[in-house]
Structure 1
């Protein structure tokens, strides 16, 4: 291995990608991105753009063989095999499908192929979680909706949530919502949604609702090394999302919650998981934790985790490059992360913008923004201007 440290190659896009770049930068690790053309991370001083890939475009999947070849050619120009990290479901599935070929030029910390498929596709994960005795809400799997609502879809009781079997932009168009899932309160609401979803053309999941606001969503974040040992972990809780229900995270806090740690470790052991993972829970009004999903990839929570003392991407990088792991002090609970759009989420809660600004200024981690690296935020804001695609 050469003396010069290789860059970490990070695949994906959006807020997950730039926040992983930020995490690695805190440890002095350079990154090379494989991202969409206008992704904010491409303007970061800590990252070099390697390839342009529109991960959500079906053409990207059709051209995967060529992409593997181009990545391997680039890897041969590096001083040592670079670690490869993945920050979206599409990038995770790409790496998993081509793990054997990519291993010729890259170093991977990756769950086994069956685990990846089962966690990304909820039609596979629901029966797996039930077999393993994991604490999931009662769930039904429905084939692609068409025609009238089947009678057996109404047996879970109400309220219940309906969500796509995997992340899919077509879901938002068909369900006519910005939410990642839809809450239905009775059979009439479900029947109306069912007819709208006839254009979706993919399976959906119906699940008993765990009542309560989004700040009851808690999570376990972990890296399990190739010996099966937990090398780094922390817990967290959402503060706000946009939209307010079943939306995307706009504010969060790092925690150190004992029962979330215990439940998260149980899930990881039951799945035999290796690599990184985020396990999502929701806390019921009686305090019981229900597991909602598992995501075996890198994500935005790693930035506040790193600020709190647990830099999971840096630990993975050290293992994959044969370097000493960074020190792992006890997690500093209370570290907060905020997205610029949280001003909208906060206003929906009745928080005045000036109060939000004062609160956000005190957040230790800010999405896209750093005084020493301002251009990613400029890019992210510009991407939302009218007329910009």
Structure 2
């Protein structure tokens, strides 16, 4: 057996021959599994904080699912061959989702996993296809405009929101670092952005602008089993993002939002979706919910939700290994916050929140990305020591490697 596939240790009270969870993702997906006593193999780039987690019991090599999908599938299959029982496969980013969906037949020879219908996955990941699907089903989605010249129609409907066609960061980030979308207010800005995206080779869609800050974004999450029964669900809302507009989540909360849950359930039913998904809405100024996207994959929200009492990854694992599930829909029993401390400090400053108010909010957040007293090595070895090493060698923050945003946001 390859050394990198050695099972490093067994958690107290767990069966030594229980299948591993194989996680293509970060610590916010590994931790809910670990809290449930589930051992994990972690597939992540070298040096990522999750690699140092006490919950990481094996570390297969990582290949970029966007640029080297065949190599990653080969590595996953090699890893599965070393296991006495088929691992349970989890995926967090859009690239990971597409890899699993498009290679589902081969991967099922060595893994167990849940994933929606292949055509539905493609329709949800590609924003143009999603627009067409949403219109056919009568879902409350903002209008998407054609971005080809001439741009007269676009200019008549300013302001607009420009978003990547898919979340392929290696093409979008060179043109638009960190932000997940860009608001365009003038014809000149629209043309300049169009040129930048063309130079970066990034495909984009232009969407109707829904007024309001990022704090108006609310989400519905669910796990629907293969029988079409809802096993668990929860709702939440964003508190802060970085950058402040259209950035990545840095602070969120799992909280009860009855109208979001009701509409989320309806949309999942219309899509006939099986598996896990996150349904994002933005609350318009008139209070109505506008559908932004549906992401059929695991994500960072599952970390605070697990602490709140709705551990979706653990439920999926249990179903796939044949553990009897209690009747009824699992839902949170309390409100729980999540924060990404290293980025949320910037988000707090940008939003005008004082450090005197921000620090207590971080301390009281029960879920923190990469930071946990019972699992300190991801922060120590994956965040703090690299930062100290860069400072010791005189590297400026501009020269430091860009931090990767958690994939599931």
Q: Does residue 1:6 correspond to 2:15, yes or no?
A: no
C-alpha separation in 1, matches of 2:73 and 2:168: 24
- Distance between the aligned counterparts of 2:175 and 2:351, measured in 1? 28
Q: How does 1:146-295 map to 2 (within 5 A)?
A: 149-155=150-156, 157-169=157-169, 170-175=171-176, 177-295=177-295
Answer yes or no: is 1:337 the counterpart of 2:350. no
Q: Distance in 2 between matches of 1:203 and 1:373?
A: 39
Q: Distance in 1 between matches of 2:203 and 2:357?
A: 43
Separation in 1, partners of 2:150, 2:200 = 15
Aligned 8 A contact 2:61 2:75 in 1 = no
Q: Indicate the larger mover: 284-293 or 178-187.
A: 178-187
Are the equivalent residues in 1 in contact too, given 2:182–2:246 (CA < 8 A)?
yes
* Distance (Å, rounded) in 2 between the aligned partners of 1:186 and 1:388: 34
Residues 1:30 and 2:51 aligned together: no
- C-alpha change, 1:70 and 1:229, in structure 2 (3 Å) is same
The Cα offsets for residues 4-61 of structure 1, whole Å up to 9 and x where unpaired, read as: 211100013xxxx211111011111111011111111110011134322142662x23
Q: Equivalents in 1 of 2:127, 2:386: separation in Å?
A: 31
Shift of 1:334: 2.4
The TM-score with structure 2 as length reference comes to: 0.86
Q: Counterparts of 1:129 and 1:381 in 2: how far apart (Å)? A: 44
1:132 aligns with 2:137: yes
C-alpha contact 2:304 2:367 (8 A) present in aligned 1: yes
Separation (CA, whole Å) in 1 of partners of 2:372 and 2:178 = 28
Q: 1:39 to 1:49 in 2, by over 3 A?
A: farther
TM-score (norm 1): 0.91
Does 2:305 match 1:305? yes
1:102 counterpart = 2:107: yes
Q: Is the 8 A contact 1:318 1:326 kept in 2?
A: no
**In structure 2, distance between residues paired with 1:195 and 1:67:** 33
C-alpha spacing 1:124/1:47, structure 2 compared with 1 (3 Å): same
1:351 paired with 2:356, answer no
- Alpha-carbon distance in 2 for matches of 1:339, 1:50: 24
Cα 1:116–1:383, aligned 2, differ >3 Å: closer, same or farther? farther
Deviations 1:248-292 (Å, cap 9, x if unpaired)?
000001111111111111111111111110111000111100010
Alignment of 1:53-68 (within 5 A): 53-55=62-64, 58=67, 60-61=68-69, 64=70, 66-68=71-73
Q: Distance in 2 between matches of 1:222 and 1:230?
A: 7
Aligned structure 1 segments of 4 or more residues deviating by more than 6 angstroms:
none
Unaligned runs of 5+ in 2: 1-14, 402-409
Give yes or no for contact 1:149–1:194 (8 Å, CA) kept in 2.
no
Structure 2 vs 1, CA of residues 242 and 162 (structure 1 numbering), >3 Å: closer, same or farther?
same
Cross-structure match for 2:77? 72
Q: Secondary structure at the match of 1:226?
A: coil
Is 1:364 matched with 2:373?
A: no
- Whether the aligned pair in 2 keeps the contact of 1:314 and 1:326 (CA below 8 Å) is no
Q: Which runs of 5+ in 1 are unaligned?
A: none
**CA RMSD of superposed structures (Å):** 2.0
Which moves more between the two structures, 113-122 or 318-327? Answer: 318-327
Structure 1 residues 304 and 268, CA, compared in 2 at 3 Å: closer, same or farther?
A: same
Q: CA deviation at 1:372?
A: 1.1
1:84 to 2:93 alignment:
no
Is 1:380 aligned to 2:383, yes or no? yes
Q: Secondary structure at the match of 2:263?
A: helix
Cα drift, residue 370 of structure 1:
1.1
Over 3 Å counting, the alpha-carbon distance change for 1:375 and 1:388 in structure 2 is farther
1:142 aligns to what?
Answer: 147
In structure 1, C-alpha distance between the alignment counterparts of 2:325 and 2:59, rounded to whole Å: 26
